[in-house]
């Protein structure tokens, strides 16, 4: 004991109680420990193993309804098209569909997933900078609601495919408004230097050109300026004001604009960020685009599903680093790793990490580095995090892991993809079977000259 603490704990971190208080689906039970809705996470670990993603259906519904109410409260005629890439689990899609959600997709695979979950292509927007001809054909064949075109080259491709199919493709132009959403560089998308969208000054002539092409029905303007936007409404307002200006100019030239797609990006508080509310977003849309008298669309991903998920993991062991080698650090080595939740390694993301045991709440806390077993120093979830002493088999939950969690997993280090479980009130059900080692090998083939 008495090893000096080499890293001062970051006192700005929220406490366990503060993390819980801000997350209504989570609660502590004196006997059962941490619960998602009415289901103890310890029970889920016992039944389904770890690591496991756990989603709260109640949270999905509550957030969808809050967003819808904010849009309606502002008097907007707005469609919500859930950005499937944030979490494409069938059960999650079904819960959101039952609330009335359409979809925003970025691949034919996502279109298959959303259609399988009962979201018709006719309620789905196809975004993305590199749709292949096969994907465009597939989407048009199923009657896609809207294709968001991102380049002149893509528009020509859509025109040729639609004309050949004898259909009229509903196309919106994704405009890059050149605003800085002031989010992480890897998820900012609306600056001129980003690969996304059509430069603002090119959009007007391109829209006119599109109207003259065969196979295309120009229907609107779209934008998406970035993800995890927590810096107030100024970037949104600037982008939407530019869209409004453009729509008015298009109309004055007699070009029809039926709808405007405001994209996604609304941020959530992972740590102590003051995230904008859906009411603030609705207000910004109303103030900038509300006077145009056309329906608006939103493509929220993270805001809807992020807070609805946790990643449940077990402690493999607690390792005390040598005073000489690693300076007396304490490491909590988990059975989850960067291949499961890559956000900390990829975006320097902070996730709340709560012990699940009912005893942990009263325990003395000291700093620990929380790491996975993958052979990369980047496989570090948190440094100097205040945690109790933990034993092999003890459970922890990563909070706000419902978005860009399971969907970004890989099998690096030949680690099977984790299971996924949906909680709905007192019920819990497996919604994705854990991969097996056999699954990992099943798609590999040996050339005959090596098979011997």
* Residues assigned a catalytic role: 375
Q: Compare residues 81 and 330 and give the one whose CB is closer to ligand PLP.
A: 81
How far apart CA 85 and CA 64 sit, in angstroms, is 17
Q: Is 347 annotated as a binding residue?
A: yes
Q: CB–CB of 223/243 below 8 Å?
A: yes
What is the smallest separation between the CB atom of 293 and ligand PLP, expressed in angstroms?
Answer: 24
Nearer to ligand PLP, 102 or 265 (CB): 265
Least separation in angstroms between CB 354 and ligand PLP = 23
Which residue's C-beta sits nearest to ligand PLP?
Answer: 301
Consult the annotation and say whether 301 binds a ligand.
Answer: yes
302 is in an annotated binding site: yes
Q: Note the residues at the interface with ligand PLP (CB under 6 A).
A: 83, 85-86, 104, 127, 224, 227, 263-266, 299-303, 403
Specify the pairing of strand 366-371 against strand 124-126. unpaired
Query: Does the annotation place 404 within a ligand binding site?
Result: yes
| d(C-alpha 125, C-alpha 432), whole Å | 26
Distance of alpha carbon 85 from alpha carbon 299, whole angstroms: 11
Place of tokens 């491709």: 157
Q: Nearest approach, Cβ of 340 to ligand PLP (angstroms)?
A: 19
Q: Annotation-wise, does 343 bind a ligand?
A: yes
Q: Minimum CB separation from ligand PLP for residue 259, in Å? A: 15
CB 299 within 8 A of CB 81: yes
Q: Which of 62, 151, 43, 144 is nearest to 103 (CA)?
A: 144
Cβ proximity to ligand PLP, 52 vs 172, nearer residue: 172
In whole angstroms, the minimum distance from the beta carbon of 426 to ligand PLP comes to 30
Helix or strand (DSSP H, E) at 203: helix 200-212
Nearer to ligand PLP, 16 or 126 (CB): 126
Torsion sign, CA atoms 356, 357, 361, 363: negative
As a whole number of angstroms, the distance between CA 302 and CA 400 comes to: 9
SS3 394: coil
- The annotated binding site is made up of 265, 299-302, 343, 347, 376, 404
- The annotated binding site for substrate is made up of 302, 343, 347, 376, 404
């Amino acid at each position: 004991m008495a090893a000096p603490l080499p890293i001062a704990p970051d006192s700005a971190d929220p406490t366990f109680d503060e993390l819980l208080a801000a997350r209504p689906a989570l609660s502590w039970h004196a006997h059962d420990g941490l619960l998602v809705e009415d289901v103890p996470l310890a029970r889920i670990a016992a039944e389904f193993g770890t690591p496991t993603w756990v989603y709260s259906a109640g949270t999905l519904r509550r957030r969808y309804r809050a967003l819808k109410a904010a849009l309606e409260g502002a008097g907007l005629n707005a469609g919500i098209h859930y950005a499937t890439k944030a979490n494409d689990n069938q059960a999650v899609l079904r819960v959101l569909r039952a609330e009335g959600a359409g979809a925003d997709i970025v691949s034919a695979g996502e279109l298959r997933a959303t259609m399988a979950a009962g979201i018709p292509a006719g309620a789905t927007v196809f975004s993305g900078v590199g749709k292949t001809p096969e994907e465009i054909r597939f989407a048009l064949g199923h009657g896609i609601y809207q294709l968001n075109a991102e380049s002149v080259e893509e528009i020509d491709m859509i025109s040729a495919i639609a004309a050949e199919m004898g259909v009229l493709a509903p196309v919106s132009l994704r405009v890059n408004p050149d605003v800085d959403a002031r989010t992480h560089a890897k998820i900012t998308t609306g600056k001129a230097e980003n690969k996304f969208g059509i430069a603002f000054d090119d959009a007007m002539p391109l829209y006119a050109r599109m109207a003259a092409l065969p196979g295309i029905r120009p229907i609107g303007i779209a934008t998406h300026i970035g993800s995890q936007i927590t810096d107030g409404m100024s970037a949104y307002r600037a982008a939407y004001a530019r869209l409004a200006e453009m729509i008015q100019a298009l109309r004055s030239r007699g070009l029809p604009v039926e709808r405007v797609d405001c994209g996604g990006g609304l941020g959530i508080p992972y740590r102590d960020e003051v995230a904008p509310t859906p009411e603030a977003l609705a207000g910004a849309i109303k103030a900038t685009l509300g006077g145009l008298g056309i329906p608006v669309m939103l493509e929220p991903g993270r805001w809807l599903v992020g807070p609805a998920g946790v990643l449940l993991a077990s402690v493999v062991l607690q390792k005390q680093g040598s005073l000489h080698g690693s300076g007396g650090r304490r490491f909590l080595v988990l059975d989850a790793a960067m291949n499961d939740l890559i956000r900390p390694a990829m975006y320097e993301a902070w996730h709340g990490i709560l012990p699940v045991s009912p005893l942990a709440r009263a325990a003395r806390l000291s700093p620990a580095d929380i790491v996975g077993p993958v052979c990369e120093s980047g496989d570090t979830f948190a440094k100097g995090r205040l945690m109790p002493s933990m034993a092999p088999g003890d459970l922890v939950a990563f909070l706000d892991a419902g978005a860009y969690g399971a969907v970004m997993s890989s099998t690096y280090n030949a680690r099977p993809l984790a299971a996924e479980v949906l909680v709905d009130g007192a019920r819990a059900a497996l919604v994705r079977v854990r991969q097996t080692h056999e699954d990992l090998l099943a798609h590999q083939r040996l050339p005959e000259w090596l098979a011997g």
